[in-house]
Amino acid sequence: MAESSNTNAMVSGLKINEISSGDDEEVQMPSATLGLAASTSVAGPGCDPSSLLTFDPESIEPAAPKASEEPSFDLVHGPLQRLKALLSSSVEILVENPEAVKGILDEIQPHLPMTLQELESLEEKVRMTKQLIQEKETFIARSREEAQGLTADLKSDLAALKRQLVQSKTEARG
């Protein structure tokens, strides 16, 4: 019989038991996912998977700058200051020149975030939703009143039926 030897080896954190018995060589590996080092021995000596994990930063195109959701302070600061001065003036000046306020607001609007630009339509949706809620609450209140009326009718009908039943029983005995 040939001489056998046990050798333990570590490959990427996995313990490999190599059992050698003469001419025959057998490698027993636990069933686990192979690590990076083990994959190089499986893939062959000419294949280096670490090259797949590297990248050249210069090969990446710079991302296009995102359009900011926030208004540019520089673009709206001047018009906002004019609007503040105009609104701080007397009511007579505002009444005489209402287009000045509207013009400044129109100048600022394109620089506002979309959420502010859509605020008017959202306010309309909120108003409509509140109206629907009010209508449903009114419908529920009417339904409750109707149910209370029907309950009272049923109770009076039940009382009348009980009286008739009692009368029928007393007449049947008598």
Q: Where are the domains of the chain?
A: 73-114, 115-169
C-alpha–C-alpha distance, residues 62 and 81, integer Å: 37
pLDDT computed for residue 55 by the predictor: 58
Instruction: Read off the tokens for 174.
Output: 């008598």
DSSP E strands in 12-116: the ranges are: 14-21, 24-28
**pTM of the predicted model, to two decimals?**
0.33
Tell me the pLDDT tens digit for each residue of 94-153. Answer: 888 888 888 988 888 777 777 666 788 888 999 999 999 999 999 999 999 999 999 999
Is the pLDDT reported for residue 34 higher than 60? no
- The model's confidence at residue 165, banded by pLDDT at 50, 70 and 90, is very high
C-alpha–C-alpha distance, residues 85 and 54, integer Å: 59
C-alpha–C-alpha distance, residues 107 and 100, integer Å: 11
Is the pLDDT reported for residue 3 higher than 60? no
DSSP character for 141? H
Q: How many CA atoms lie within 13 A of 124 on its CB side?
A: 3
Count of all residues that appear for the chain in the document: 174
pLDDT computed for residue 16 by the predictor: 47
83 vs 59: which has the higher pLDDT: 83
3-state secondary structure of 24: strand
pLDDT computed for residue 149 by the predictor: 97
Phi, psi (degrees; rounded to nearest 5) at 8: -105, 135
Closest Cα partner for 27 from 38, 36, 35, 37?
Answer: 38
